[in-house]
Chain A
Amino acid sequence: MPDRPTRSARHARRSRIALAALAAAAASLALAAGVGMAPIGAAIDGVLALALLGALSYAAVESGLSARWSDAAVVTAQVAAAFLLLAWLTFRAANAQPLIPLLYVVAALFAVLQLERGRLFALAAFALVAHGTALFMSIDHSGKPPLPEAGLQLGALLLVFLWLIYAAGTVRRLRARLAAARSRLHDFEREANERASRDALTGAYHQRHLAEALEREIARAERVGKPLSVARIDLDRLGALNAAHGQIAGDVALRRFTAAATGALRDVDVLGRHGGKEFLAIMPDTGLQGAVVAAERVRAAVAREPVPEVDGRRHLSCSLGVAEHRKGENTRLLIGRAEAGLAYAKAAGRDQVVALDPDGKPVLVEPA
């Protein structure tokens, strides 16, 4: 999905469009004066009015004043002012009267894609009243155009405005549908990313995500000077469970372990599958003492999970090695120390937590 342009980029693009529209309108007025369709004085007045309108709108948007208004881009005011200017030209430039309704349509096109239906009706009514007044004042003043032609102009303008409002409604509905589809697509993309970073069997994060998360957390811990700990976790006797009750029983045990361990850890901790029955928990902002408490909580939660009987035991168990990150230590060394603690926990009888103290000595943690 292409990136949405930034707010300032959108702003700059709109400003460029508005400036181009003003320049085109000013050039049209100059051309009309050049070919004798409008008096030179009227063209100069028109160009000055356009410049003033542009400057006022730009100032309102740039100063942030318009941000508090319901129409932050000042489209309604700009289009209404454009209609007023066209009505004034209708009166001043009688020779150009047949062309002016086209310019109403051009000005209205700026509004149809941005304003809601109520405002469009109000702007159309305003344009008809302004143009009608200008036409009738012009009839009084110069006798142009004849009354039936004025009526035809107003009727045609009314029909064009109604059609534009209908088309605008259709475009708005399409845009709403497009926005909803885009939002759904965004949700799907997020969900797909989430699924891609998780192990299909257990729902724990897979190894690549785990490695990235650990590298990120180590960098953060070194930057902000906060502690970071990891726990290497290994399910006990999973091979025996698989051998005695089949691989499905082993898969169920892995899922139960993940659910219990995730429940015992905090939301900010990251639990990932490091290998077949090996897991790694990353505990940000956690020193060794806190990590030991969390690891013991995981061990106790897992020990409550029932499994089919193996070697006279009816509950799942896991062994954990806990290590706190040392300054300058990379992911391999940190995991390696936690792994050494895990080996000690396994040798010491399994279903245990072993923490490595600051001197690197393994300490068996008493069950809570």
Chain B
Amino acid sequence: MADDRVFRLDAQVVFRGKPMRVAGRMLLEGASGQSTFRYLLSDESGAPVLLEQAGEHRYALLRAFPPAARPATAGNTITVGVERYTLVGVRRLKVLELLGQAPGPVARSEMLVSGMYEGLMGTMMREMVPGTNRQVYYLIRPVETGDVLSAAAYAAAREADSRAAGEAALDDD
């Protein structure tokens, strides 16, 4: 992923129309060498938002469970309430870079084992640091294209929208 497609620490971004700041950034490397960025976005008063950048403009929203949550696990399944999630894949990730606030309970150079689970309610992720009892559960939500933009790209998109609306209004005349 080229650097100009990655948000810097403290960069201003707009997530679903809400102006936010990149308060933390983590670079992860997979077993086959592919890199993944995670961003911790924060604004003045709301809760932080955790995003994973899977491709150039592809993001997933990671909604963390309460740290004390311990869903029942049995074999390859996790049960949350009455919903069952089945393991569909495991990633081994190495933390290559950690800037600002850590997006999750990890430190630099640590390894993460990330299990992806599928269920009727969507995708869940269980992430553990091997050799420790640290683990976090996330509910994963896809983020639509255009929901995460740099502040400059957002302003440009708004400008284009308002121009298009103006032209449409003129056409109506």
Residues of A that sit less than 8 Å from B by CB: 207, 211, 214-215, 274-276, 331-332, 335-344, 346-350, 352, 356, 359-362, 364
Contacts and interface: CB of A to CB of B under 8 A. Distances in A.
B45 A343 contact: no
A111 B18 CA distance: 61
Contact of A347 (B16, B68, B139): B139
A359 B48 CA distance: 21
B45 A344 contact: no
Interface residues of B, number: 30
Contacts of A207: 18, 45-46
A360 B68 contact: yes
B140 to A, nearest CB: 10
Given A332-B42, A336-B47, A343 B121 contact: no
14 contacts: A215-B45, A332-B47, A337-B66, A339-B47, A340-B69, A342-B63, A346-B139, A347-B122, A347-B137, A348-B121, A349-B80, A350-B121, A360-B68, A361-B69
Contacts, number: 90
A346 B65 CA distance: 10
Determine chain B's interface SS by DSSP, over half rule: loop
Contact of B81 (A339, A342, A349): A349
A347 B65 contact: yes
Contacts of B17: 275-276
B135 to A, nearest CB: 14
B66 A214 contact: no
B89 interface: no
A276 B65 CA distance: 21
Residue from B47, B65, B137 having most chain A Cβ neighbours under 10 A: B47
Contact of B16 (A275, A337, A342, A360): A275
B4 interface: no
Interface of B: 16-18, 42, 44-48, 63-71, 80-83, 85, 119, 121-122, 124, 137-139
B167 to A, nearest CB: 22
Given A349-B121, A362-B65, A336 B48 contact: yes
B64 A346 contact: no
Closest 8 CB pairs of A and B: A348-B81, A211-B45, A343-B63, A336-B47, A360-B68, A340-B66, A335-B47, A347-B80
Contact of A340 (B64, B85, B121): B64
Given A275-B16, A332-B46, A343-B138, A364 B68 contact: no
A336 B63 CA distance: 10
Contacts of A214: 45
Contacts of B67: 340, 360
Contacts of A336: 47-48
Contacts of B82: 348-349
A346 B141 CA distance: 11
Contacts of B45: 207, 211, 214-215, 331-332, 335
A361 B81 contact: no
B68 A359 contact: yes
Contacts of B47: 332, 335-336, 338-339
Nearest to B78: A347
Contacts of B138: 343
